[in-house]
Amino acid sequence: MVQNAVVKKIVGDGVVEVSLLRQMECGLHCDGACAGCTQRPKEEILALASNPIGARPGDVVEVEPTGGHNLVTPVVVFLLPCVGLVAGYLAGQSMGLGEGACLGMAALGVLAGFVPAILMNRIILRRRAPEFSILKSLS
């Protein structure tokens, strides 16, 4: 999804910090006539972007997300806890445990399924790779 952003600062060689301009229903084309607009974003959304065009701070640019973890992340975050839930319950049944103990095993399976998601989140946060790529300058 292509969206507009404002370059805030240069972070490193070929990487800048951008402020994403959120898309709203009204398009924010009110020219100040609706100062009390509830649609305006309350906080700034900052992200890193690769800068192949050499944009400078203050430039309005068009960015698109980099396609990195788009399939792996949802599988780890959503599918593994579900698999852990079923595996834990079935393991409890195969051991001949009662219904409550099987549910306890299922809860442990869910927790075990979240461990890879937590580790992946830590790796992504430490790496701080650009989440977006600048396509062109709009200003």
Angle, vertex CA 134, rays to CA 56 and CA 46, nearest 5: 75
Q: What is the mean pLDDT of the chain?
A: 82
Whether residue 102 is found in the same domain as residue 121:
yes
Residue-number span of the structural domain to which 121 is assigned: 72-127
Q: 116 vs 33, 81, 87, 104, 109, CA distance in Å?
A: 49, 9, 16, 20, 12
Does 118 lie in the same domain as 50? no
| pLDDT tens digits, one per residue of 96-138 | 999 999 999 999 999 999 999 899 888 877 877 778 888 888 8
- How many domains are there within the chain? 2
pLDDT of residue 2: 83
Is the same domain home to 132 and 96?
no
pTM summary value: 0.54
